[in-house]
Amino acid sequence: MNKEILIAGFGGQGILFSGKFLAYEGLIDGKEVSWLPSYGPEMRGGTANCSIIISDNAIGSPIVSNPDILIAMNLPSLDKYENETKKGGQIFIDSSLIDRTVDRTDVETYYIPATKIASDEGLTGLANMIMIGHMIAKSGIVPEENIEKAMHKVVPPTKQNMFDLNMKAVKLGFEYKA
């Protein structure tokens, strides 16, 4: 197994955090993993993206340019990476923020109104985790039972409230039905 994932959106959407959570999922599952952020001025509101690779074997390049899985959290990211996604791959779209559909027919597509769900459920700012939850459900690249363990790795023990909210978001995403 070698899965390359690209999460892309605006700075401030928690792109890097959700990527780190996913990488820990892989690590706990005994896989080789890598996590690579775009960096620089993006931090302050521009586009941000994060490459994650989860693999059975030693990872070569940590840069994902043709993802197996794309999570697009804004329109520019979908415009930029839709055609880069591998044939037979999966594209996950935050349909609250992106008002177009995917043109390609050779990929699986999933539309989740993650930002709206987050806002309805008192989880503002956690659309990223809803997206990740849904991606885990649909891709099966990491086992569901590791979610809590991985969350403990990325949320410090002093922030139990944040832990609960993040877990809720992932669960909502995981169980979301279109």
Partner 1 sequence: MSEKVLMKGNEALAEAAIMAGCKHYFGYPITPQTEVAAYMAKKMPKTEGGVFLQAESEIAAINMVIGVASTGKRVMTSSSSPGISLKSEGISYLAGCDLPALIINVQRGGPGLGGIQPSQSDYFQATKGGGHGDFHLLVLAPNSVQEMVDMVFKGFDLAEKYRMPAMILSDGTMGQMMEPVSLEKGVVNEYDKSWALTGTKGERKPNIVNSLYIAPEELEKLNFERYERYKKIEAEEALYEEYLMDDAEICIVAYGVASRVAKNAIDQARAEGIKVGMIRPITLWPFPKKVLSEAADKVNKFISVELSMGQMIEDIELAIRCKKEVLLCNRTGGMITTTEDVLNKIYEANGGKN
By CB under 8 A, name the binding residues for partner 1. 20, 23-24, 27, 32-37, 39-40, 59-63, 65, 153
Minimum distance from CB of 50 to partner 1 (Å)?
A: 10
Angstrom distances, CA of residue 38 to CA of 20, 62, 64, 154: 13, 12, 11, 19
User: How far apart are alpha carbons 89 and 76 in whole angstroms?
Assistant: 19
Amino acid at the residue 10: F
User: How far apart are alpha carbons 131 and 134 in whole angstroms?
Assistant: 5
For partner 1, the closer of residues 138 and 153 by Cβ is 153
For partner 1, the closer of residues 19 and 113 by Cβ is 19
Minimum distance from CB of 71 to partner 1 (Å)?
A: 18
Minimum distance from CB of 151 to partner 1 (Å)?
A: 14
For partner 1, the closer of residues 44 and 177 by Cβ is 44
User: How far apart are alpha carbons 75 and 60 in whole angstroms?
Assistant: 30
For partner 1, the closer of residues 12 and 60 by Cβ is 60
Minimum distance from CB of 126 to partner 1 (Å)?
A: 21
Residues 6+ positions from 145 with CB-CB distance below 8 Å: none
